[in-house]
Amino acid sequence: MSRHVVALGGGGFLSGSDPALDDVVLSLAEVDTPRVCYVGTASGDPVANDDRFLEAFAGRARTSVLRLFDREVADLDTFLAEQDVVYVGGGSTVNLLAVWRAHGLDRALRRAYEAGVVMAGVSAGANCWFGRSTTDSWLLGRADGLTDGLGWLPGGMCPHYRSEPSRRPQLLELVANGFGDTYGVDDGVGLHFTDEQLVGAVSARPDARAVLVGRCEGGHVVEDELGVRRL
């Protein structure tokens, strides 16, 4: 069974825009009315975000919410096995990883992923699947390098690549100093990985793009444009 991850640089239902990106995620479940679980750990499980999710997916999916603050689900493996899609919201990547690991959700998600549950997320919910990423978890307005993500996917992730002023220049500096190849992904763009390989990028915005930032042998940093399919 194929394994799928969709990593969104920004947008989706939480921003009230780009519903076409969410449609791409739902289509990977290959069922008429997929079971979709929202995980809002990165922002502290606010009820307002849960409500946005439930409203956005009403009539399109059978919805549920997994909260780790005020947790109500005892058996994470059984709960996740009942899903077709897990959709992770944005916020603090650092906090998300710490809370997931404390509850063992990182391991339960891996088992669900291996069983074919589609994984998706925006911003911090995209960063988490990579080993390294850029994050403003430690200080808003910065884009520090983080190197202890889940590491399921190759390369690194930088969301909000051109929409937040610090993201692009700080990623270029990080890569110049040996951070490693990293995807720079604009709001409105999603990277689709199948079996841990990038198979495509999709965009719900006409001017949005994605690049792979790397360092040449001479030390120069390059931004290689990815082919993006417009939705």
Q: Which residues are catalytic?
A: 123, 160
CA distance linking residue 205 with residue 160, whole number of Å:
13
Phi then psi dihedrals of residue 60, to 5 deg: -110, -20
Rounded to an integer, what distance in angstroms lies between the CA atom of residue 29 and that of residue 98?
28
Which amino acid type is present at position 101?
Answer: R
- Residue 13, both tokens: 């239902």
Q: Which two tokens stand for residue 190?
A: 């999603």
Alpha-carbon distance of 185 to 221, in angstroms, equals 16
- Would you call 182 exposed, middle or buried from its count of C-beta atoms within 10 A (0-12, 13-18, 19+)? buried
Query: Which run of H or E residues covers position 81?
Result: helix 76-81
Please spell the DSSP secondary structure of 93-106, one letter per residue.
HHHHHHHHHHHTHH
Element (H, E) at 158: strand 153-158
What backbone phi and psi angles, to 5 degrees, belong to 115?
Answer: -85, 0
Distance between CA atoms of residues 218 and 165, nearest Å: 27
